[in-house]
Amino acid sequence: MKKLLVPGAIAAAAASMALFTLGAAPAGKAKPGAVVARGKYLVATSACNDCHTPKNMGPNGPEFDMTRELAGYVAVKMPAPPASSGAWPIHANGELTAWAGPWGVSYSRNLTPDMNTGIGSWSEETFIKAIRTGKHMGVSRPILPPMPWQVYSQMTDQDLKAIYAYLRTIPAINNPTPDPAPPPAAPAPTKKK
Ligand code: HEC
């Protein structure tokens, strides 16, 4: 009799182990490590570094400085950008972190978890809302070009959550990035400031 029970016990143990495994990672809810890894992959393949990571100029052009991963525009003394006109209406700095165009001048934001200058204080909800709506922090002014939020807004919630999760794990870098500057007043009716 006892011998007959053994296979049943093994089956029961196996079933409960399977249940335990499922319980640890229910469908649609991956393990935290896997979520961060997915986020890292998405950040690396969705061009976030192209605009948000400072660069060093190499012989073939700008190269990512990954010691300052996603720290955004680093302030240096720059002359005012050329006027936006003609066949070259958009200008960028060499690091591809400052952009001038018909919308004014925009600066790639610090995406590190630094509390004061990065997105350390942003909730997951704020992050997703910003990307989905194209509004600063999901609620205020429009997010300016060339931030391709229209592209990323098509990502799934799961992917945006993964990106957010990864952004929480990179080193926090204190680097204040400027607010955008409006375009030079066109035909200014009255001088206000
Ligand atoms: C082509 C350049 C470019 C690419 C690529 C890019 N960004 Fe941006 N991003 C910007 C610029 C410029 C701003 C600042 C826009 C502004 O101040 O309105 C910005 C702003 C942001 C903001 C702040 C939005 C807010 O509410 O103020 C977040 C978050 C962000 N980017 C995340 C990302 C992520 C994540 C990726 C990759 C998946 C990415 N960006 C790729 C240029 C880019």
How many distinct structural domains can be found in the chain? 1
Q: State the pLDDT confidence band at 173, using cuts at 50, 70 and 90.
A: very high
User: What number is the average pLDDT over the span 28-43?
Assistant: 90
Tell me how far the alpha carbon of residue 104 lies from the centroid of ligand 1, in angstroms: 16
Q: Using the structure block, give the residue that is written with the tokens 């200008």.
A: 91
Domain of residue 149 covers 30-76+90-167
Tell me how far the alpha carbon of residue 147 lies from the centroid of ligand 1, in angstroms: 4
In a domain, 83, yes or no: no
Q: Which atom number of ligand 1 is nearest to the Cα of residue 163?
A: 35
CB 14 within 8 A of CB 7: no
Say what the pLDDT of residue 24 is.
42
pTM to 2 decimal places: 0.84
Tell me how far the alpha carbon of residue 186 lies from the centroid of ligand 1, in angstroms: 27
User: What number is the average pLDDT over the span 94-102?
Assistant: 96
Ligand 1 atom 26: residue of nearest CA:
136
DSSP-derived secondary structure for 36-83: HHHHHHHHHHTTHHHHHS-EEEETTEEEE-GGGTT--PPP---PPPPP
pLDDT digits (tens, 9 = 90+) for 115-137: 999 999 999 999 999 999 999 99
